[in-house]
Amino acid sequence: MNKNSKIYVAGHQGLVGSAIWKNLQAKGYTNLLGRTHNELDLMDSNAVAKFFEKEKPEYVFLAAAHVGGIIANNTYRADFIYKNLQIQNNVIGESWKQGVKKLLFLGSTCIYPKEAPQPMPENSLLTSPLEYTNEPYAIAKIAGLKMCESFNLQYGTNFIAVMPTNLYGPNDNFDLEKSHVLPAMIRKMYLAKWLMSGNWEAIRQDFNKRPVGAISGESSQEKIAQVLKKQGISSDTLELWGTGKPMREFLWSEEMADACVFIMESVDFDDLKGDKKEVRNCHINIGTGKEISIRDLAYLIKEIVGYTGKITFDASKPDGTMRKLTDVSKLHALGWQHKVEIEEGVERMADWYTSTR
């Protein structure tokens, strides 16, 4: 990529897309292209076709996706497979039609089997069944990966797929029902802290910034308390889903963005496919190669937030996959490694959350 190349970041206001946008700007790229959902609905094939025909981007980061945590994935199964397939088909298809020089597709490590070896290497893809709760989302991401691979093999495109581990960082989703575990836990911990101290002003401010359904900071204290109770938040206890035993790997989103830009700048499909008769598993895992239990993460967040109440775990709720550690040896061999460890990242995340509520 040249510094004045036209680069389209799909999903440029989301967790990943905004971090990629910021990273590109910091590295001197001046011709960035972004559209909000209101400006361009990526599920609308006609709108996407018109956009690509008019703008003709040279490079594309496909960071737009319909995402959520374990509750959302298991509840809105049709939405997760349908919306993600639509977005991917439209953007990848139009990138091929309009001659995009290079595309980076962002997937997820949930593509790997529930019983994949740990850490999970790229070649464990499709070797056994997926974890049930996020199977529709995982299948959509596998389809996107295979679309990139197949267009490359049939049409000679340079579309690369990367599979990031669990991400967190600025502009994360803190929705109490649809967010991923780390941001949800940070918000719940703050709400539990404020409820324990009777700081309803802080709670109302939080609900005004991020309403829960129809409940905002202007709602009655009784209705807000009902929402808090539903989320496991009481005057002296925070109850979290599952046993707390699952191990998870977390990567600071701005480092994920740096890895993505690094790959776009220096890695091509030809570098990944080798000379095998059957070309597959050319995607790249992006992560830290380190993990922490959900229980230990909860107590780390508790310490950083300053919550002094009790934490309990509801073992009747699903845990999801017990381990999801990525094998990042391919990424390291290509020349990129992470720097932000989980303790520093959670502190940054907590600071960002309180500064934007």
**Catalytic positions, please?**
137
Q: Rounded to the nearest 5 degrees, what angle is found at the Cα of 107, between the Cα atoms of 159 and 293?
A: 145
Structure tokens at 99: 């001659």
Structure tokens at 184: 């949800």
For residue 200, give the amino acid letter.
Answer: W
Total Cβ atoms within 10 A of residue 198: 10
Specify the residue for token string 């401010």: 205
Task: Name which of 239, 240, 255, 229 is nearest 338 in CA terms.
Answer: 255
C-alpha distances in Å from residue 290, one per residue of 21, 108, 160, 186: 26, 16, 24, 20
Q: Rounded to the nearest 5 degrees, what angle is found at the Cα of 316, between the Cα atoms of 314 and 317?
A: 75
Structure tokens at 213: 């359904």
- CA 338 to CA 119: how far, in whole Å? 16
